[in-house]
Amino acid sequence: MENNKKDPHSPADKDEKVISPTTAPTEKPADNQEESTVNKPAKDTQTKNTEAKSAPINNNHRQAKKSSWWIRLGVLFSLIIAIIAIAACYWLYLQLDKQGANQGQFGKNISEQAKQNQSLKYELQQISMDSNKRITALEKQQLNDTKAYSKLAELQQSSKLLQERVAVIAQRSPNHWMASEAEYLVRMAGRKLWLENDPQTAMGLLKSADERISAMKDPALTHLRKALANDISSVKALKTTDITNTIFELDTVISQLTTLPLNRVNEDFAEKSEHQPISDSVDDWQQNLARTWHDLTDGFVTIRKRTTDLEPLLSPEQQWYLVENIRNKLLQAQLSLYRFDQINYKKSIELADKWLQQYFDVSDPKTKNTIEALDKLSRVKIEKVTLNKFQATPLLQQLVTYGEIMPMEELAQ
């Protein structure tokens, strides 16, 4: 009975209405059952007949039920397939959309890359142009350097040839070595005069050079001998200070500073009055008593006077500083001599002399000699050499180089 209760709107009922008229297949099993049950009792026969009558109806319901389930399964399967197809289509749509977005981004990246490539290409072109310009400039500079090197090589070759020619010309003169010796003597005279401030030695060297030129006995060298004579006269007329001797005198004073005695206070207040002795005679007792009383009263209270300034005594440390300060001033005077500084030289000597007279015993012979030496040194005048060059120097250089004095140079002199 439960199987017969079905939904009138279900697809199975619709199928049953179409299939139910076909009852032919269901009658055949009923006939077979009737034939198989002929020999049974009547009661069973009636029951079976009744069942046989209702059998076709049940078979039809089962067949309809089976067919409706297959249809439902097919519809469900179709629905699942449709859902899967829809999901696949949606997934495919998402993939295509994503791929399209990726393609758009890729295209944008490609355009940006193309722009960058274009800018890089432009930069490369600019760099290439700059490189070409630099290469062109370097090629021009190299070409100029090559020309300069070639000209320098030509000048060096010309100079070498000229030197060889000059050497050959100079070797032809038999007096070449004498001219070289005279040029050396003049150069040494300049060093003695300007470096050592020794005009006497410089004048002797110039005279020796004049003797070498005179020994050559060449009338063409008269102008050179005249220049040497002028140089000798100029050196002789110089008033210079004997720097070396003055330095030695200052060294002597510096070495004697430690032996000089310092100034001390004179404490000798002895009585210079005559002292009469007491006589041994008894008759002179009155005179002896008067003399004794007079000596006692005169020596009981003594008043002494000092008219000179009382200088305080110096401690050993102060004495050492005093000597070192005087030595420092004398060393400054020596330095002023080398620098030809007359003002500082005189100030240093005067200050050292003042300290000697103030703090040392001026009555001592050593102190007196030192003060006299400083007074003599303070009167030294430092004369600087005003002669800057010798007239004979360029003429001697021409004679050594070319073997003779060039006429153009003579006119220039």
Helix (H), strand (E), coil (C) string for the chain: CCCCCCCCCCHHHHHHHHHCCCCHHHHHHHHHHHHHCCCCCHHHHHHHHHHHHHHHHHHHHHHHHHHHHHHHHHHHHHHHHHHHHHHHHHHHHHHHHHHHHHHHHHHHHHHHHHHHHHHHHHHHHHHHHHHHHHHHHHHHHHHHHHHHHHHHHHHHHHHHHHHHHHHHHHHHCCCHHHHHHHHHHHHHHHHHHHCCCCHHHHHHHHHHHHHHHHHHCCHHHHHHHHHHHHHHHHHHCCCCCCHHHHHHHHHHHHHCHHHCCECCCCCCCCCCCCCCCCCCCHHHHHHHHHHHHHHHHHHHCCCCCCCCCCCCCCCHHHHHHHHHHHHHHHHHHHHHHHHCCHHHHHHHHHHHHHHHHHHECCCCHHHHHHHHHHHHHHCCCCCCCCCCCCCHHHHHHHHHHHCCCCHHHHHHC
Lowest mean pLDDT among 19-23, 70-74, 180-184, 193-197: 19-23
- Same-domain pairing of 189 and 251: no
User: Of 90, 111, 132, which residue constitutes the final position of a domain?
Assistant: 111
Q: Domain of 58?
A: 11-111
> What is the pLDDT, as a whole number, of residue 337?
86
pLDDT level of residue 142 (50, 70, 90 thresholds): confident
392-401, pLDDT tens digit by residue?
A: 888 888 888 7
Position 276 in a domain: no
Mean pLDDT over residues 179-207, rounded?
87
Q: Is the pLDDT of residue 79 over 50?
A: yes
Same domain for 182 and 93:
no
The whole-number pLDDT of residue 4 equals 41
Evaluate whether residue 161 is within a structural domain: no
* pTM greater than the 0.75 cutoff: no
Residue 168 has pLDDT above 80, yes or no: no
Q: Are residues 94 and 23 in the same domain?
A: yes
144 falls within a domain: no
Q: Across the chain, what does the average pLDDT equal?
A: 75
In this structure, the answer to whether residues 245 and 378 fall within a common structural domain is: yes
Question: pLDDT at residue 405 above 70?
Answer: yes
Q: Higher-confidence residue: 39 or 247? A: 247
Mean pLDDT of 46-59: 49
pLDDT of residue 388: 80
Based on the domain organization, do 339 and 370 belong to the same domain?
yes
- Of the two residues 227 and 281, the one the predictor is more confident about is 227
Which of 65, 88, 111 is the C-terminal boundary of a domain? 111
pLDDT tens digits, 81-132:
999 999 999 999 998 888 888 888 888 888 888 888 888 888 888 888 888 8
Q: What percent of the chain has pLDDT over 70?
A: 69
Give me the mean pLDDT over the 187-211 stretch.
Answer: 87
Same domain for 221 and 256, yes or no, is no
- What's the pLDDT at 167? 67
In a domain, 57, yes or no: yes
> Within a domain: residue 302?
no
Tens digit of pLDDT for each residue in 341-391?
A: 888 999 999 999 999 988 888 888 899 999 999 999 888 888 777 778 888
Structural domain contains residue 201: yes
Same domain, 327 and 406: no
- Predicted confidence at residue 188, as pLDDT, reads 92
Domain count along the chain: 3
